[in-house]
Amino acid sequence: MAAEAARRVAWFLRERVPAHHGLYGVVWSVAGEAGSALAAGPAARWRPGVDTAVRASALTLTLVGMRMLDDVKDLAHDRVHEPDRPLVRGDVSTSELLSAAAGCGVAALALARSLGPVSARRLAVAQAYGIVLWPLDRAVRTHRRGRPSPVLDSALAYPTQVWGSLFLLESAGETGAAPRSRRAFALVPVFASAFLQFEVARKTRSTPPQGAGDYSSVVPWQACAAAIVALGEAAVWGSLAVSAPWKLSGPQRLVAWSPAALSVLPPAVVLGMLRGTRSEPKAALSIALLLGLYLSIPTVAGMARNGTAPEVRRPQ
């Protein structure tokens, strides 16, 4: 029976947690660690190591567990609006998903604890908020009498991303992957803006029909378009403010300025809407900005050659 349950959960993951979700967790983790080093200044050198993989695995397992909890939490809503999802179809049971989510959470905390107590506490807070979100969401839906509110739902859910960023930044400092620096926390709004511009883009249509979960179903699409541009530009120029390419030299300086080229992508997304080509949400350009920005950070940080790697101090 356990093998059958594992098979059903695996099929759920294949459908609801595709490979690019795992890729996002890894890229986000590496960007957070490398960004912490970059924020410390040009003298800091960053090199990925075993701790990098452990940190990325802990965060990715947490994201997978939260996806399972999210589908259980949204079951009543999905029965009406998303009848093709595996939990609604009966391909997997709520108890199986809850057990698998608990397993992911415990494994993630064990990995975080191997990095140090601060890492474990920060990840535990992120997981705890994901659990608290369940009664919060239920209270909101009861208050709204079941009417969908994608903007409010996003506002409630997004703090889990903020807690994830704080876990990455503080864990990097704890393990010595990057010098401790208050300036690194400027990456939290950068990561928030980068993800949210993608989130808004994938749920915005400039022409009917509007989906129940689209932001443009409750907010004019023009406002959504303005948000995409504002968030995208904030992410690009905020990352440049943290990396401070004007303080670098040689090839590293040139590469550090490269994210500026991504600033053309948010207006391009809006241009597609103005042309009336967004009857279905299209997020390819927003994904390109998100991944391009996240990948540029470790590229620049890894080019530092003259600095010294921070001393690794293992917590006792």
* Structure tokens given for 249: 């030299």
Cis, bond preceding 310 (omega within 30 deg of 0): no
Average pLDDT score over residue span 11-32: 90
- Give pLDDT, residue 112: 97
Average pLDDT score over residue span 222-231: 93
Look at residue 242 and tell me whether its pLDDT is greater than 50.
yes
Is the CB of residue 216 less than 8 Å from the CB of residue 210? yes
Integer Cα distance of 223 and 135 in angstroms: 30
* pLDDT greater at residue 195 or residue 212: 195
Rounded to a whole number, what is the distance in angstroms from the first to the last CA of the chain? 41
Average pLDDT score over residue span 133-137: 81
Q: Residues near 129 by Cβ (< 8 Å), separated by ≥ 6?
A: 159, 160, 163
Least confident of 39-53, 182-196, 215-229: 39-53
Average pLDDT score over residue span 171-177: 92
Average pLDDT score over residue span 99-107: 96
Is the CB of residue 225 less than 8 Å from the CB of residue 273? yes
* pLDDT greater at residue 286 or residue 315: 286
Look at residue 277 and tell me whether its pLDDT is greater than 80.
no
* pLDDT greater at residue 269 or residue 315: 269
Look at residue 312 and tell me whether its pLDDT is greater than 60.
no
Tell which CATH architecture fits domain 2-302: Orthogonal Bundle (1.10)
Look at residue 308 and tell me whether its pLDDT is greater than 50.
no
Residue 287 backbone class (left: φ over 0; alpha: ψ -120 to 50; beta: rest): alpha
Confidence of residue 311 (pLDDT cuts 50, 70, 90): very low
DSSP annotation of 220 reads -
Q: Return the exposure string of 173-192: e unless at least 16 CB atoms fall within 10 Å of the residue's CB, then b.
A: bbbbbbbebeebebbbbbbb
- Give pLDDT, residue 1: 63
pLDDT tens digits, residue range 279-296?
566 788 999 999 999 999
Please state the φ and ψ torsions of residue 251, each to the nearest 5 degrees.
-60, -35
Look at residue 70 and tell me whether its pLDDT is greater than 50.
yes
Look at residue 58 and tell me whether its pLDDT is greater than 70.
yes
Is the CB of residue 140 less than 8 Å from the CB of residue 170? no
State pTM to two decimals: 0.89
- Give pLDDT, residue 280: 61
Integer Cα distance of 80 and 63 in angstroms: 25
- Give pLDDT, residue 208: 74
pLDDT tens digits, residue range 190-207?
999 999 999 998 888 887
Tell me whether residue 28 is exposed, middle or buried, using C-beta atoms within 10 angstroms of its C-beta: 0 to 12, 13 to 18, 19 or more. buried
Cα–Cα distances in Å, from 253 out to 34, 168, 250? 16, 25, 6
Q: What share of the chain in percent tops pLDDT 70? A: 90
Beta-sheet strands, E only, within the chain: none
Look at residue 100 and tell me whether its pLDDT is greater than 90.
yes
Q: Where are the domains positioned within the chain?
A: 2-302
Torsion of CA 86, 94, 105, 286, to 10 degrees: 30
Q: What is the overall mean pLDDT for the chain?
A: 87
Cα–Cα distances in Å, from 251 out to 23, 24, 254, 255? 27, 27, 5, 6
Confidence of residue 144 (pLDDT cuts 50, 70, 90): low
DSSP annotation of 280 reads S
Look at residue 315 and tell me whether its pLDDT is greater than 90.
no
Most confident of 134-138, 152-156, 268-272: 268-272
Look at residue 314 and tell me whether its pLDDT is greater than 80.
no
Average pLDDT score over residue span 163-171: 95
Look at residue 305 and tell me whether its pLDDT is greater than 60.
no
